[in-house]
Amino acid sequence: MAVEAGADLIGFHFCDSDRRVSPEQARSIIEELLVRPKIVGVFIDEAPDEVRQIWEAARRLLGSRKVFIAGGLQPGNVGKVVSEFRPYGVDVSSGVEARPRVKDPDKVRAFVRAVRLAEAAS
């Protein structure tokens, strides 16, 4: 319905929510779309292993779509994620916070440095 209405993005909740879908359900919906808008995954307070499973399920999209990976990223793991998945982009919020809603400048620099090093090595 959102695509038919002209939405630029559609989102899938992979977090604990009444709107939650499995990666397989999201893939099934995406495969049925005649027009492909940008796809967004929503992750809130998910365990790292669960987020990783969802990233793995999205792997097939990486070759044909501009995929952003978000959720569970921080300076210590983003380089590996960028090296392994080669997404179009990555997003971070709590992974670089000193406390809720306050970014730690050192963590932000470390995050960006890890991304740039991984990109350069690819």
Q: What is the pLDDT of residues 4-29, one digit of tens each?
A: 777 677 888 888 888 889 888 988 98
pLDDT at 44 over 80: no
Over residues 45-62, mean pLDDT:
76
Tell me the pTM.
0.68
* Residues above pLDDT 90, as percent of the chain: 30
**What string of DSSP letters covers 72-109?**
S--TTTHHHHHHHH--SEEE-SGGGEEETTEE-HHHHH
**Token representation of residue 70:** 């978000």
pLDDT confidence of residue 52: 75
Q: How many CB atoms lie within 10 A of CB 75?
A: 20
pLDDT confidence of residue 46: 67
Q: Are the beta carbons of 75 and 96 closer than 8 angstroms?
A: yes
